[in-house]
Structure 1
Amino acid sequence: MLVRFFVVVLVFFFLLQGGSAFAQSQSLRDQVNALSAKKYSKSDVAEAKRLLPIVQEHGDFKLTFDLLDWLSDYYTDTGDYKQAMLYSRQAAMAAHQSKDSLRMADGQMNIGMIFFRTDDYEQSNATFRPLIEAYKKLGDTLSAGRVEGNIALNYMRAEKQDTALQLLLRAWATMRKHGSPSDWLAVDRNIGVIYAMTGKPEQGLPYTERSLNTILAQRDTFEFAPAYGNLAYTYQQLGDFKRALPLYDSALYYSRLQEQNAVTYVTLKDIADGYLSIGDYKNALRLFQEYQAVKESVLNENTLNRIAELKVEYETEQQQLALEASEQKVLLLEGEARIRQQRLVLIIIGLFFSLVLGLLVFRQWRRDIRYRATKEKLIAAELANERLTSSLLSTRLENKQGDLTNFALDIERKNKFSRELTDRLGALRKVLPTKLRPQVDDLIRYAQGHEQLNGQLEVVQENIDQVNREFHQKLKKAFPNLTASDRELAGLLRLNMTNKEVATNRGISTASAKMARYRLRKKLNLVPSDDINAFLQDL
């Protein structure tokens, strides 16, 4: 009788566990589906990473693929292609284990797109080619056509325009039959570009016009400027600059409205070339000067953006480290919660079977010993990881300091070139006829307008001050008699700048920089044998 009761309890226990597993599977599917419907955000990524080990442990390969595919798309969109490739390969493996043909094809498609975005055209095409037949066997003709279009883009970037055109024309027929207007747009635009690049604007004109009409119908204002510019360029190649000019005006209007500076300066260059082709040198010169100004502005903006990106990358890395530590704690707590639940079930069963209780307690005791040993190893590993992270952050900080110094010197070289150019133009002005001198004066003012030493050095100094903020606080506390100028000089010397580099940064002569260095040594109470750079770095 006792044995039968024992069997009934075990059957009930396993049924309970099975029902719990089914409910957990459904809950995980709902969570992953909800995640897929969201836009990418940091909280969504954290949630996906939290779910990933749970889904993998559950053994649902289709669900694992869907979650890994979502993470791969996120890192692809953010430009972290190394991380995107890692998740894409894991997703492809999960798709293979699930034996789902469509997921297997989609997984390879993601890998091919990452190769495409990293300019590995041969590897991208090698990944794409088998997918054409794979999608056709699945009855997905539209996806097969999209793969052909992707292969064509690889050939375009590899400057194999004839092969790319053949594939695009074949893909165009598929898209017109099975695709949406968005699919037609991508193919129309690329076919028009290839015809323009290969000197066949009359053949590309219908495709370029159709792509502009599609964009206008979709009211995608961000694409207005490139579309107007492409059609204008096609008319210009056909020799109809009069018809191209209003289209160029529209391209300029929308590019400036959307702050698309790169599109703006390319359009200005094309218009200048158009005026040049009809002999209107005055307008050609005016637009070419505008083109140069916008282009220089974009280059300067990119430089400042890069400095800002370095700061954001550093802050993001700190937040990511904190997030990963928090995720580890959550996983540990969840593991402990599962262990407590198992203990509770074992204790309930043990109340009915005292003989089994002793064995279960003994096994649980051994499990606790292994758990504590594992926990100690994890703590030791986390401590070693924290030390390594601290070392890496120190190294990166030093590299950023070096980048700031090089940036300052680069600005000085640019300004030196600008001054030499101004001097030579001044000498040339003296020997030119009087009627040509106003044009030379315009060039001199244009060159003088590009001297950017003071403004850019202030940006560099702000970044140096931010990097050395903790150092300045320590220096002020240890030597309260130092002036703000002394502390600024100490920050530059701490970056291993020479007297010449200090002079460039502060806008003084090398002799003045040398004298300031000597006075600072005296205020720091250093003897002749002491290295001031090493002293400041160790402070």
Structure 2
Amino acid sequence: AATLNNLGGIYRSIGQPKQALNYHNQALPVYRELDDRSGEATVLTSIGQVYYDIGQPQQALKHYNQALSIYREIGDRSGEAVALNNMGLVYARIGKPEVALNHYNQALPIRREVSDRFGEAVTLNNIGLVYARIGKPEVALSYYNQSLPIRREVSDRSGEAVTLNNIGLAYRDMGQPEVALNYYNQSLPIRREVGDRSGEAVTLNSIGTVYNSMGQPEKLLITIIKLCLLHAK
């Protein structure tokens, strides 16, 4: 069962969701046959993640809800926090920010309780994203600023770059383009360092947007050229 589930995880990581679901769905009845509730919850979470990836939020929620019930039944607080956070992601995606926040705010104290610093930083960043989307950049910034030092503490360079970029977006939305640029320019070299080409493009695009708003066409043009070169590689 564990091997089947792991194979599913590998297929998910290389962008083959159908194969991933095939292996996860083979693992699930085996865990149930063994009455391995922890393994069952793990597979249900994995299935939910695949459905989230392929844009089937209701299926994702169905499986996360099943996993959440089991995690609570067996007292797995870390698993409970993961399920709650993942459900928050789904609700944020389908345009239910208040429900998303409710789930994130349940996940956050549990992550602190179990000393999951990496997960804590993720959830803080996710809460910030929800506030940004509902037009509250100042509140979003307060959560990003809690997430950033933890990302650095746990040496999560990819996450650090994401949060730096999000801080830049918050300052942009608050009408402070020069401060936004400062954070984008901290994010960009980290994106390059970790090989996050998609993230690098996102940050370059953010920088170009700021230069455009500031009426600096020469710098905007340079940024566009960099983006074109990036996509050509």
TM-score by shorter chain over 0.5? yes
Residue 246 (1) aligns with residue 182 (2): yes
Cα distance change on mapping 1:251 and 1:110 into 2, 3 Å = closer
C-alpha separation between the residues in 2 aligned to 1:297 and 1:132?
45
Alignment-derived partner of residue 294 in structure 1? 226
Aligned to 1:163: 99
- Identify the residue that residue 114 of structure 1 maps to in structure 2: 50
Q: Assess if the C-alpha contact under 8 Å between 1:112 and 1:124 holds in 2.
A: yes
TM alignment of 1:366-515, pairs within 5 A:
none
Aligned-pair CA distance for 1:154: 1.2
What are the equivalent positions in structure 2 for 1:78-97 lying under 5 Å apart? 78-97=14-33
Q: Is the 8 A contact 2:91 2:97 kept in 1?
A: yes
Distance 1:295 1:173 in 2: 40
Is this contact kept in 1: 2:51–2:59, CA < 8 A? yes
Summarize the Cα distance change of 1:262–1:95 in structure 2 as closer, same or farther, 3 Å threshold. Answer: closer
Question: What is the Cα deviation at residue 122 of structure 1?
Answer: 0.9
Verify: 1:151 aligned to 2:87, yes or no: yes
> Are the structure 2 counterparts of residues 184 and 108 from structure 1 closer, same or farther at C-alpha, using a change threshold of 3 Å?
same
What's the CA shift for 1:259? Answer: 4.7
CA gap 1:201/1:247 in 2 versus in 1, 3 angstroms: same
Q: Give the Å deviation of 1:276.
A: 4.7
8 Å Cα contact 1:269/1:288 also seen in 2: no
TM-score by length of 1: 0.41
List alignment gaps of at least 5 residues for structure 1. Answer: 1-64, 302-539
**Aligned counterpart for 1:218 among listed residues 141, 144, 154:** 154
What TM-score do the two structures reach when normalised by structure 2? 0.88
* CA gap 1:69/1:271 in 2 versus in 1, 3 angstroms: closer
Larger radius of gyration: 1
Sequence identity (%):
24
Question: Does the 8 A contact of 2:212 with 2:220 survive in 1?
Answer: no
Query: Which residue, 82, 86, 98 being the options, matches 2:34?
Result: 98
Q: Which has the higher contact order (CA 8 A, sep 6+)?
A: 2
Give the structure 2 partner of residue 437 of structure 1.
none
Give the Å deviation of 1:123. 0.7
- Give 1:291's aligned amino acid: T
Report deviation, 1:175.
1.6
Task: Kindly report the root-mean-square deviation, in angstroms, between the aligned alpha carbons of the 2 structures.
Answer: 2.2
Q: Secondary structure at the match of 1:219?
A: coil
* Native 8 Å contact 1:268 1:287 kept in 2: no
Pairwise mapping of residues 224-373 of structure 1 onto structure 2 (< 5 A)?
Answer: 224-277=160-213, 280-281=214-215, 283=216, 285-301=217-233
Shift of 1:166: 2.0
**Structure 1 residue 290, shift from structure 2 partner:** 2.7
Deviation at 1:179, TM superposition (A): 4.2
Q: 1:192 aligns with which of 124, 128, 143?
A: 128
- Alpha-carbon deviations, 1:273-296, whole Å to 9, x = none? 43454xx41x2x123223322333
The equivalent of 1:177 in structure 2 is: 113
| 1:398-455 superposed Cα distances (whole Å, 9 cap, x missing partner) | xxxxxxxxxxxxxxxxxxxxxxxxxxxxxxxxxxxxxxxxxxxxxxxxxxxxxxxxxx
The answer (yes or no) to whether the contact 2:4–2:27 under 8 Å persists in 1 is yes
Alpha-carbon distance change, 223 to 149 in structure 1, aligned in 2, over 3 angstroms: closer
- Residues 332-390 of structure 1: CA distance to partner in whole angstroms, max 9, x if unpaired? xxxxxxxxxxxxxxxxxxxxxxxxxxxxxxxxxxxxxxxxxxxxxxxxxxxxxxxxxxx
Q: How far apart are the structure 2 equivalents of 1:276 and 1:299?
A: 20
Structure 2: tracts of 5 or more residues without a match: none
**Structure 1 residue 90: Cα displacement:** 1.2
Shift of residue 113, structure 1, vs aligned partner: 1.7
Tell me the distance in 2 between the aligned counterparts of 1:256 and 1:109. Answer: 31
